[in-house]
Amino acid sequence: MVSSYVYLLGLSQFLTSALSANTGRVCAPETFASLSLPSIDVLSIDAKLNNASFDVDDSTNAYPVATNKTVEVCQLTVNYTHLGWNDNVTTWISLPVDNWNGRFMGMGGGGWIMGTRGRLSQAVFGGYAAASTNGGHDEAATVKSWGLSSEGNVNWANMQDFSAVSLDDTASLGKAATKMFYGKPHKYAYWNGCSTGGRQGHMMAQRYPTQYDGILAGSPAINWDKFIPSEFWPQMLMNALDYYPSACELNAFTEHAIDECDALDGVKDRIISVPGLCKYNATSLVGKTVQCSSNSTVKITPKAAKYVTLVWAGPQDPSGSSLWYGLSHDATLTRLAGTNCTLPSKNCQPIPFQISADWQQIFLARNSSLDVADITYTEYIRHFRQSVNEYSSIIGTRDPDLTDFKQAGGKMIAWHGMKDPLIFFNGTENYYRQAMEIDPSIQDYYRFFAAPGADHCKGGIGFYPGSSLDSLVNWVENGTAPDTLRAIATPTGTDSAKLPLRTADLCAYPKFLTYVGGDASKASSFTCK
């Protein structure tokens, strides 16, 4: 009798601690005991009340919210494996105890990170129930630890999880948990992500078109099988040309290109808004002396100009045919053409962008001890073909036929910074043009916006459309399609405090932002043409 009483008392105290005083909803594993999918085996479900604090990260395009508050949520952690795959996937689900807005949101990741529990805070602060996934590997895990099942062998189950499958799982699990907790289903479902998160959004529209009513996809890492090898092009060129540039030299070419092409759009603002008109020739800098520091200079050589010209052109096969796009003239070159120098311009050693190096080493060579600095041009071209042949259908994320997404009634907004130094802007533009050719009425459900001067997902001196999610919600729920996206450019540099914020209304492709006269810091001075 005593033991029964103690058990009941403990159960009562447990339920009391897991029960919201305001809603009567129980945040406990028992509430979600039936949470599962036909294709998975649930290993564990943890559910507990938690105070979510905002994790500052503009790259997810989320609502701007106060950072000095917390939101009480029912925090779920679901661990599962796919039947027969021997993988181990984690999905996090955050359910606001109070002030749920009736909506569900899937949150994306960046780089090799599929998602994090911390990013869910950005959604729950807006009132959303939200979910994200680790895609089968932890945030801190090395790519070798999950990309290879053994030396020479790709872990295809983990690759499928990272590419697509866990995204579909997370949407289904998150929606089901939302209904279990609130006693009713969500009204609308949204996806929100940038970079890898932008690719994930396009993957949902292409492969799982009924999961989300609205998708926001910034700087999308689509065309993965082509653009990731292209990111390694600047590093391979260093070996091929036996030229290892300093940041000083590379920045000089970028600055001179901006000087040459800045005013082509009618405004001197250090932003190239019409890159197609920029015909800057890197050889014009040959022979000039560049100041690298107070006591260091470098003289620009023909080899330096050749290197930068090839980087801007993008990878080419032995016949001279283009394999993919290069960087924009105003994009920072040092992200992909990084080096480490003992002096500002002396004894430079290559430092590849890690994701591009991982792709060459783990998923193409399948040799975790490979020194990517030794990859020759011939090997690079072979790897490029291999990447397309083996991975386009898995993670390419470039199917332009969105018929099923259209028929499901979905809406998608994509935007891309035109000076993105990591993901080539022209690749996204090319994808959207292909989609327009397949369906001339594509703007009824999918719109793409170019952001002049914007960096990768955030930053840069250009226009960042931080309120895009509001535009998406208005389109999905009220039928108001966005012809423009309001964007803000924040001044940078030593005089930034004296300069005004600049606003502009980004244009739905194929129109581009065009200056028509007046105060260049005001949106009214621009139009779409």
420 belongs to the catalytic site: yes
Spatial distance between the Cα atoms of 245 and 255, rounded to a whole number of angstroms = 15
Which of 121, 195, 219, 246 is labelled catalytic? 195
Helix axes 247-261, 302-313, angle to 10 degrees: 70
Dist. CA 88–CA 109, nearest whole Å: 18
Look up tokens 């090997």; give the residue: 379
Helix, strand, coil percentages (3-state) for the chain, rounded to 5, are 40, 20, 40
C-alpha distances in angstroms, 429 versus 170, 410, 509? 29, 20, 9
Catalytic entry in 186, 202, 256, 456: 456
Cα–Cα distance for residue pair 171/40, rounded to 1 Å: 14
Q: Which residue's entry shows tokens 């100009």?
A: 305
> What count of Cα atoms within 13 Å lies in the side-chain half-sphere of residue 346?
6
Q: Give the pair of three-digit tokens for residue 14.
A: 């447990």
* Contact by Cβ (8 Å): 104, 130: yes
Known catalytic residue at 195: yes
Q: Which two tokens stand for residue 512?
A: 């581009």
How do 214-218 and 188-194 pair as beta strands? parallel
Active-site residue, selected from the candidate residues 420, 471, 505, 525: 420
Helices (H), 246-297: 247-261
Q: At residue 447, what are phi and psi to the nearest 5 degrees? A: -130, 140
- The encoded tokens of residue 500 equal 């005004």
Pick from 125, 115, 15, 18: which is nearest to 63 by CA? 125
**Tokens representing 465?**
């459309």
- Collapsing DSSP to helix, strand or coil, 135 comes out as coil
Q: Is 456 a catalytic residue?
A: yes
- Reference 453, options 513, 378, 390; nearest CA is 513
How far, in Å, CA of 367 to CA of 355, rounded? 15
Report the catalytic residues: 195, 420, 456
